[in-house]
Structure 1
Amino acid sequence: MSAINREPLTAPHRTRNDAVLALGVAVLALAITLTGGEGTRPDHLSWMLLLAGHVPLVWRRRSPLVALLGVVACMAPYYAFDYNPALPAPAIVLALYTVAATGTVRRTLLTGVAVLVPTLISNGLTNSDGALDALEISGWIIAVLFIGIAVRYYRLYVASIVERAERAERTREEEARRRVAEERLRMARDLHDLLAHSITLIGVQTSVAAHVLTADPERLDRKAVAQALDDIAGTCRTARGELRTTLEVLRAQDTVVGVGADPGPGSVSGSVSGAEDMRGPLPGIDGLADLAESGRVAGAKVELSVRADDIPPSVGAAAYRIVQEALTNAVRHGGREDLTVRVGLWTADGALRVSVRDDGTGGDDGPGGGAGPSDGTPGFGLIGMRERARSVGGTLDAGPGPAEGFEVTATLPLSREDEVR
């Protein structure tokens, strides 16, 4: 079945295999000779014509029509001398089958007519009473050609099935890679939002403690130092808890796939789905008060205004992360001790509007937006916020405020229920 299904024109070692086949057909002709038969027994000339007629079969798949012409050119004189008619039959049948199995139906039919008409004319001129022989010859030629056509269409059918299966497999692999890439991007955003926010707060609180220790060593405000250290410890505990939740999601993928296993495309897709299901509750606008409080602990004056109810979880999570990153950037790049950050959320025209505006002196730090570190290296803050907005079908704008500071505004449609990735 593998040999039948394989495309003959591209089969490996086809010339070598056809040479072996031609030799086998010649041996078959010899066996027919030994069993006797009608017609004049072969002599030296007939053997030369017979063997020469088998040589073109070596290239039958490389040039089917040329091989057929070579066989016919050698066998026509053989038949003219009225030698045993059965001996060339296997070679002629094989050549005709090859033409039918490797060419179009039109070429096959034209070839059949070109072979059949001269054969019938020759048989009619040499054997006027051989109507039955003519019918038999025609039947064999037509049968061989139709068998070749049937095999060719069967190969095309098998090739189409294989192609569809390969295309479906490629589609599954691409889908699995896409979902894995989306999951990695989501986790990268979560880790960035978590660590950037927590590390910024820790940095600010550490600066406060250092300032208290060095401002007036003789009149050390132990209560202020203790409060700063307590704030740092609280921020570390919060960050550790959120980081642990994220790492549990990552470990859940190994649990779904199986540690040490070799997951296929379907397993990769399943692991992503399993991780998404174990993601836990998404943060929402209910947690904005805690974000505002953390900003106040960092030394900024945060004014929070929320006028929105019944916000879809995905939209609420996107709004929470946008506010978190914008507040972190404001505290990091504000450049003022009396920094004021105004955070507002409200619904209008079927969308949740988010606005975070500060009166600091910081601005855009480059391609990453106001999310880069203080040394000016571009970060991923604005990139992440825009991705958050796009994940729910929204838009985000960021840039210097109309008068001073930096402003981030986002519009998040409320009709989209897709899960944040």
Structure 2
Amino acid sequence: MQIRYLSDYSIPRPSLDQGNEEQKKKVKDILEDVRRNGDRAVKKYTAMFDQAELDAFLVTDGEVDKAVSEVDEETWNVLHEAAANITAFHERQIQQSWMTTQENGTILGQKVTPLDAVGIYVPGGTAAYPSSVLMNAIPAKVAGVKRVVMVTPPGPDGLVPGGVLAAARLAGVREIYKIGGAQAVAALAYGTETIERVDKITGPGNLYVALAKREVFGVVDIDMIAGPSDITVLADHTAVAREVAADLLSQAEHGELSQANLVTTSKELAEAVSNEVGFQLEDLPRKEMASTAINEHSAIYVAESLDEAVEAVNRIAPEHLEIQMEDAMEVVGKIRHAGAIFVGRYSSEPIGDYFAGPNHTLPTSGTARFSSPLSVEDFVKKSSIIAYSQAAFIENADKVARFARLEGLEAHARAVESRFSNKKYD
């Protein structure tokens, strides 16, 4: 890995691939085709992109039963425990409706209502992601969403990986379709003869999925536009080079565009991690993909002080931030921008990906500056409640009418004044 000095180099923030004009047009064409032609268009694109000729999209109960039966007991127990951890964490995020009564009898409040229907996208392709099923479906279920629909691309054999279906069973997802890509996003957003439309789409995907989600936003809600995965490790001389390198590679293996940075106050650690990354890459199964990510999008940055290192981290606004320092917990308060913060030597990033409980669907590409991890709040909506008493109305009506006329909205003023029977207008 390249070693750079922050005093000489401005650290780049991960960038979100917006796609080129040809890719955007292709996505728009797919969306419009599915909107107009429904199942027929979805089948066409599933055959074209996934090499799967399907008579039906819906995953049957028998397919799920078979997948569950083929999962060994130890793996099933791990999935079950992970699901319990994720559920317990997200149950603490539940918000209650509330109302308050003022002295004049006015009632103000907020009503929290689960969304009616949510679609979760689970990626396929180079890997299977049971963890994405749990991280998207469980918060929706905890929020009280009645209909959770899962879409995921099939293999050429027309089947969905068994681990993904087993996770869906654990998460309580009963409506699963073997479709992926922009065509799946279109089916969820617009509906087809087979698939009833949803109100929100969550979950990561490739560039075409991201572009499709961006395009249908407004027809449905979306969680975020997910970019390539990234990690930053903030470390001092107490960190172990072998462990830091392994954590960097855990994200580099996601894809060629992934970014894995080390920001450190120790030149010795920087050199040791650089050597260790090269060594560990040699026998990594996804070596080619991880090597591209490391060589083209990642670096080690040496800072002259902790303050300079923290400033660099906040500029990056990483999806995943590991703090491997002597007083790691004390540094947490200095971090303003990060999707998830992993504190200490034993909080390796994969702990959060699979098991600890907090959501692993995180803001990427520097968007942790203004956005948050997926949560129960993403699956509810809020309505304000206003119940003015007569006394409060009489006390404030003239003020409201004056405010309305300040904006030039006479009908607004008259709507308030109409409650006074003796009010006349020329």
Normalising by the smaller structure, the TM-score range is: under 0.3
Instruction: Give TM-score, length-normalised by structure 1.
Output: 0.19
Instruction: Give TM-score, length-normalised by structure 2.
Output: 0.19
Q: Between Structure 1 and Structure 2, which shows a larger proportion of strand residues?
A: 2
Q: Between Structure 1 and Structure 2, which shows a larger proportion of helix residues?
A: 1
Looking at CA atoms only, which structure, 1 or 2, has the larger radius of gyration? Answer: 1
